[in-house]
Chain A
């Protein structure tokens, strides 16, 4: 590659020539020909093979991550796109309608093959015994007892896409695929008209939401008040004795209140019944492909659309409205439909609560370990133990959380502060407080290790500078060491947050539920109810994917929920990283 200049060329100059002469006296060189510096080195000295290995490992990792993300994103983003409805005529003459979901090859059994005609058998044999089949989402669970059906190619006679087929998403019983058999508007039978139905369905949904609002908000509040009065009665009995005058007075007052609440309750009930009565006069008759019908209130239809007659903007509208429903409403149909708002809320609330617990705990522990504890055998053992804690299976933390936080601490809190509600536990059951404490315990090693690293990276000269100014050790830590270490501590916090937000196993023991009746935050004092159980996106994925009545129905939701959970974690991390970078910038610029 690089040739030494030939000393005989004039460019090398007099000094070069003199040096060459001097060298020549020591080591005679071949008469003519260039001196070539050999640059190749022993293989062990060259980094190339290792470089290929490193690059290959990195590329493999990147490909795995990218394909995982691509799979989640593809499945997640396509789930809500409206799919066409195929009407399949089978060879035995029956009809079937549904969304083609996926297709694969299978090997038909002997008895199946025996029923086929020769052409089909020959075709299958030519394919080494395999045949193609398609999974149709036939929906109509109330009529068929199943949501999906596999249909082999050799069973199909004809596939059509009739324009009058609609897909109905119902409040109960899941999706319906079929035609509109007829409408009943205010008790009058009417012919199907898409616009009329759309208008009336919107109105019916408003009635439905009105009923739900009364039941949830107004009646919910009354129930809350009545509960409170009952507890007041029990408290008075416990505190002053059942027969004491004081207790009697309090009980009488509470009972009067209960009576008034119950009167209000009855009024609301009447109002709800009126709306229901009215609502029943607006109905729709749904007709499946073979002519069987289902008669239901129009208000039960959450969404409907002519699947084969959609143009692109309409499809987009349905796609977006489904996303909006997903992130803004509560789940229905055993979590396989509807939204995940409570789960989003629960995940974020629990993660933030966890950070609130883990941050001071981890930082203080690391401060003591690094700055105050005498560095010796004992601190080494503590440090190793902390690192090992990170390797304990998370379910073990769940068991500990259940045994210690829920039963011991929660039970104790109940005994002391909520005796009136016993034997119903208040804090003595899984709740968001115990869940976030358990996760804080799980993630505290990460914070401790990161904080220790950050503290030890603060230059000794800075500490000495501060001490030489007459600052005490605490002042030095507080004003010089901690600010300098803050970005590093934040890094630990980010790692802990990502770990905590994605954890599911321990949560199942200490407070996560399939369906939480109420959010941990509401309008009743004390507004933040840390004793309540909650929903979590991670658990939602597990529940929908593996615990629901029909895992095929839940599968798309698994991807969508995963996508959402990833987006949530990315958002939280990005926020934390932005804060960290601000801090870094604030303390940056040193050249020593």
Chain B
């Protein structure tokens, strides 16, 4: 059941000039969030390191997905939402006045819990972020498609059926396609919201390996239910509980010698 190791084929094309080649650092300070009257996030303070993998763990409803979706302002879609505090991407406050949300989201790829490919061909799915960016030149699109699919370890399976509907793929393939789509426009941050929860162990292993390969080029934030997964793939881990960040630090420390008893109880499986 080993997964074939893929050569790291990622090369930023001349078209994409990134501000920082190793991704961007995220700085969350005193962040609070309310859905209507109920407070979902309490005073979160967290520094996410450039180019590293940061995992958010915690029991259901602890606010880890909410926090993740604040990083690219996906929560804007929800009515009756209120926030306080700051989130800075490379020192730039994303909730500040006059922020171009679309430009922000172009700097961040996102992978969701369930694969959500569009009802288009595989090719069109992958190059979608470029298309909405107004890029129509075929050579760039072709090159990006191949690069993104190779990076997502999907090229060998998909190269002969690029024009077929993406909805005909298996769940694991669809999720890797969504990862390919997430990195196609060469973002600085990759947000992953429980990307493996709908997948079988083989597909999960492939995606974990992928995360390992993408590390260094992107700042990756991954929300996961699976503590083993967090331990395997992340450099840093944050444990959240009831809307608070209980403990945040080096993954090894969190899983071996946590400072808080709550963390210890959770990572050792005593609750949650």
- Interface of A toward B, CB cutoff 8 Å: 375, 459, 461-472, 475, 479-480, 483-484, 586-592
Interface pair A468/B110, CB less than 8 Å apart: yes
With A and B bound together, what is the CA distance between A71 and B81 in angstroms?
62
Note all chain A residues with C-beta closer than 8 A to B191.
468
| Contact partner, B128, options A375, A479, A589, A590, Cβ 8 Å | A479
With A and B bound together, what is the CA distance between A465 and B106 in angstroms?
12
Interface pair B105/A467, CB less than 8 Å apart: yes
Interface pair B74/A589, CB less than 8 Å apart: no
Interface membership of B103, Cβ < 8 A: yes
**Interface size of B in residues (CB-CB distance below 8 Å):** 35
Interface pair B167/A590, CB less than 8 Å apart: yes
| Contact partner, B114, options A461, A467, A479, A484, Cβ 8 Å | A461
Q: How far is the CB of B69 from chain A (nearest CB, A)?
A: 9
Interface membership of B237, Cβ < 8 A: no
Interface pair B72/A466, CB less than 8 Å apart: no
With A and B bound together, what is the CA distance between A587 and B118 in angstroms?
9
Note all chain A residues with C-beta closer than 8 A to B178.
465
Note all chain B residues with C-beta closer than 8 A to A479.
118, 120, 128, 131-132
Interface pair B167/A589, CB less than 8 Å apart: yes
- Tell me the nearest residue of chain B to A461, going by C-beta: B116
List residues of B (110-133) whose CB comes within 8 Å of A's CBs: 110, 112, 114-120, 128-129, 131-133
Chain A CB within 10 A, most for which of B131, B167, B168, B181: B167
Interface membership of B77, Cβ < 8 A: yes
| Contact partner, B185, options A462, A470, A592, Cβ 8 Å | A470
Known: A464-B74, A587-B167. A592 touches B114 (CB 8 A): yes
Interface pair B116/A462, CB less than 8 Å apart: yes
Interface pair B119/A590, CB less than 8 Å apart: yes
With A and B bound together, what is the CA distance between A469 and B106 in angstroms?
6
Q: List 18 A-B contacts (CB under 8 A).
A: A375-B79, A461-B116, A462-B119, A463-B77, A465-B118, A467-B105, A469-B106, A469-B109, A469-B129, A470-B132, A472-B102, A479-B132, A480-B119, A587-B119, A591-B171, A592-B114, A592-B174, A592-B198
- Tell me the nearest residue of chain B to A460, going by C-beta: B77
Note all chain A residues with C-beta closer than 8 A to B109.
468-469
Q: How far is the CB of B46 from chain A (nearest CB, A)?
A: 21
Q: How far is the CB of A378 from chain B (nearest CB, A)?
A: 15
Interface pair A471/B128, CB less than 8 Å apart: yes
Interface pair B165/A586, CB less than 8 Å apart: yes
With A and B bound together, what is the CA distance between A590 and B117 in angstroms?
9
Note all chain B residues with C-beta closer than 8 A to A588.
165, 167
Note all chain B residues with C-beta closer than 8 A to A475.
132
Note all chain A residues with C-beta closer than 8 A to B102.
470-472
With A and B bound together, what is the CA distance between A292 and B182 in angstroms?
93
Interface pair B198/A467, CB less than 8 Å apart: no
Q: How far is the CB of A377 from chain B (nearest CB, A)?
A: 14
- Tell me the nearest residue of chain B to A483, going by C-beta: B119
Note all chain B residues with C-beta closer than 8 A to A462.
116, 118-119
With A and B bound together, what is the CA distance between A83 and B103 in angstroms?
79
- Interface of B toward A, CB cutoff 8 Å: 72, 74, 77, 79, 102-103, 105-106, 108-110, 112, 114-120, 128-129, 131-133, 165, 167-168, 171, 174, 178, 181-182, 185, 191, 198
With A and B bound together, what is the CA distance between A592 and B115 in angstroms?
8
Interface pair A467/B77, CB less than 8 Å apart: yes
Q: How far is the CB of B73 from chain A (nearest CB, A)?
A: 9
| Contact partner, A470, options B106, B115, B174, Cβ 8 Å | B106
Q: How far is the CB of A518 from chain B (nearest CB, A)?
A: 46
Chain B CB within 10 A, most for which of A375, A470, A483, A587: A470
- Tell me the nearest residue of chain A to B107, going by C-beta: A470
- Tell me the nearest residue of chain B to A583, going by C-beta: B119
Interface pair B116/A464, CB less than 8 Å apart: yes
Interface pair A467/B119, CB less than 8 Å apart: no
Interface pair B112/A465, CB less than 8 Å apart: yes
Note all chain B residues with C-beta closer than 8 A to A464.
74, 77, 110, 112, 116
Interface pair B185/A469, CB less than 8 Å apart: yes
Q: How far is the CB of B80 from chain A (nearest CB, A)?
A: 11
Q: How far is the CB of A484 from chain B (nearest CB, A)?
A: 5
Chain B CB within 10 A, most for which of A469, A480, A588: A469
Note all chain A residues with C-beta closer than 8 A to B118.
462, 465-466, 479-480, 484
Known: A470-B103, A589-B165, A590-B167. A465 touches B116 (CB 8 A): yes
Note all chain A residues with C-beta closer than 8 A to B114.
461, 592
Chain B CB within 10 A, most for which of A465, A483, A588, A592: A465
Interface pair B171/A468, CB less than 8 Å apart: no
Note all chain A residues with C-beta closer than 8 A to B106.
469-470
Q: How far is the CB of B142 from chain A (nearest CB, A)?
A: 18
The 3 closest A-B pairs by CB, nearest first: A470-B106, A468-B110, A590-B167
With A and B bound together, what is the CA distance between A165 and B174 in angstroms?
79
Known: A465-B118, A465-B178, A587-B119. A472 touches B132 (CB 8 A): yes
Taking A471-B132, A479-B131, A484-B119 as given, write out 7 further A-B residue pairs in contact, using a Cβ cutoff of 8 Å, ordered by the A residue number: A463-B77, A465-B117, A467-B74, A468-B112, A471-B128, A472-B132, A479-B120
Interface pair B105/A468, CB less than 8 Å apart: yes
Q: How far is the CB of A401 from chain B (nearest CB, A)?
A: 39
Interface pair B105/A461, CB less than 8 Å apart: no
Q: How far is the CB of B77 from chain A (nearest CB, A)?
A: 7
Note all chain B residues with C-beta closer than 8 A to A591.
167, 171
Note all chain A residues with C-beta closer than 8 A to B108.
468
Q: How far is the CB of B216 from chain A (nearest CB, A)?
A: 22
With A and B bound together, what is the CA distance between A463 and B118 in angstroms?
9
With A and B bound together, what is the CA distance between A589 and B116 in angstroms?
13
Note all chain A residues with C-beta closer than 8 A to B112.
461, 464-465, 468
